[in-house]
Amino acid sequence: MSDAAPRREAVIDLDAFRHNVRTLSALALPAETMLAVKADAYGHGMVPLARAALESGATSLAVLDIPAALVLRDAGITAPIFAWMHDPDALFGAAADADIDLGISAVWQLDAIAAAGAARAPRVHLKIDTGLSRNGATEEDWPGLVSAALEYDRRGVVRLHAAWSHLADASPEDDAVALDRLRRAVAVAEDLGAHFELLHLAASSAGIRMPEARLGLVRFGIAAYGISPFDDASGRDLGLRPVMTLRAPVVSTKRVPAGHGISYGLVYRTSAESTLALVPLGYADGIPRIATGRGQVWINGRRYPIAGRIAMDQFVVDVGDDEVAPGDEVVVFGEGDRGEPTAEDWAGYAETIGDEIVARVGARVERVYLGAREAADAADAGAAGESAAETDGGTPATESAP
């Protein structure tokens, strides 16, 4: 990235994330915590967040697909990694060789694992559709899936490990029905001779509010990023800390007269002589255009409304007679403790959920990590243990690994 590009930054507070993972994993006990780092850790950056999760109470990781799981393995992560969305060209052999846990929804996926002929048998988690109607076997297809998995397990092609599902988060009653469907599916499978070492169902919502759904493991996602899965409670109410702060500098200011139109369509006009500040973030960076007329940002200790349409690369803020200069920090959303909007506030401005606000932050926004303590400690330990080899270009690093 060019040094001359405006500093569009998503500051990721790993200490806040660790706090959240510790809070959630303690809540879930004795159930284990699997941390969902799919979609590049909800826009926060997959590898650093995966490491921080494993440092603070998570014992396994969830990603969507096999390629993402392989990136984590390549980064040196040895914890269990679970991937559940596969198309017919999925890299089942590579997944098996890398010891990736596979969510399995259909017999053809087991056949494809067998056809891949990997040296290792991957652990499989059989998925029953308990009402969400995405993947997962239907009640009718479930016995066939279980029988096929048992046969492949006997042949040493897979290791049958878990049964699982995912909730619709529609209502407590719907979720209770789904839990009951999972239990019935497990009973059907056991009658066919299956034994599951693990059952899992809950994500953030049920993991927090439905203790009976925690089973052996909770797959926490959004709550770990400090965003509430509920409409009636904020992340802060739940004792969680927002992890991402989205910010950029003011790139220019100008003084304009009353009645001056701003941005495409001139849908906003100044009510008096005023100062305009230009901010280099737009919908290509994830700022939802639909928040035009509602979105607020924080500059020099104050909140201001965005003036006029949010464009692809920029938006304008009307700061009235306040002193704002190029280089001043504009916070679009952050932890909220200084008075800045949160991602949850932006979800309100844009009629969506906080998950979408953070996950849509674009590739042009640089991720900057605060509190990368463990990595720094490891580097320090490495430096201390290998001070004699310090001039050696770092080659002994791999030798010191156990």
Ligand X SMILES: *Cc1c(COP(=O)(O)O)cnc(C)c1O
Toward ligand X, which CB reaches closer, 231 or 323? 231
Least Å distance, CB 7 to ligand X, is 29
Q: Closest residue to ligand X, Cβ-based?
A: 221
Toward ligand X, which CB reaches closer, 226 or 295? 226
32-36 and 60-63 strand pairing: parallel
Given the residues 42, 152, 254, 264, select the one marked as catalytic.
264
Q: Is 264 a catalytic residue?
A: yes
- Residue 77 has phi, psi (to 5 degrees) of -80, 125
Toward ligand X, which CB reaches closer, 182 or 277? 182
Task: Report yes or no: 276 and 256 within 8 Å, Cβ to Cβ.
Answer: yes
* 364 annotated as belonging to a binding site for a ligand: no
Q: Tokens at residue 300, please?
A: 């020099």
Given the residues 38, 127, 225, 304, select the one marked as catalytic.
38
Least Å distance, CB 252 to ligand X, is 38
**Helices (runs of H) and strands (runs of E) counted in the chain:** 12, 19
- Shortest CA distance to 52 belongs to which of 82, 84, 85, 79? 79
Least Å distance, CB 80 to ligand X, is 14
- Residue 329 has phi, psi (to 5 degrees) of -80, 130
252-256 and 123-127 strand pairing: unpaired
- Residue 280 preceded by cis peptide, ω within 30: no
Question: Distance between CA atoms of 256 and 275, rounded to whole angstroms?
Answer: 6
Least Å distance, CB 340 to ligand X, is 23
Least Å distance, CB 220 to ligand X, is 5
Q: Which residues bind ligand X (CB under 6 A)?
A: 36, 38, 62, 166, 203-205, 219-223, 229
* 134 annotated as belonging to a binding site for a ligand: yes
Extended beta strands in 191-269, E state = 198-200, 217-220, 244-249, 252-256, 261-262, 268-269
Which residues are CB-neighbours of 270 under 8 A, at least 6 positions away?
256, 257, 258, 259, 260, 262, 276, 307, 318
Question: Within 13 Å of residue 176, how many CA atoms lie on the same side as its CB?
Answer: 3
Toward ligand X, which CB reaches closer, 48 or 207? 207
Toward ligand X, which CB reaches closer, 164 or 304? 164
Binding site members for substrate = 134, 312
Residues annotated as catalytic (active site), given as ranges: 38, 264
Binding site members = 134, 312
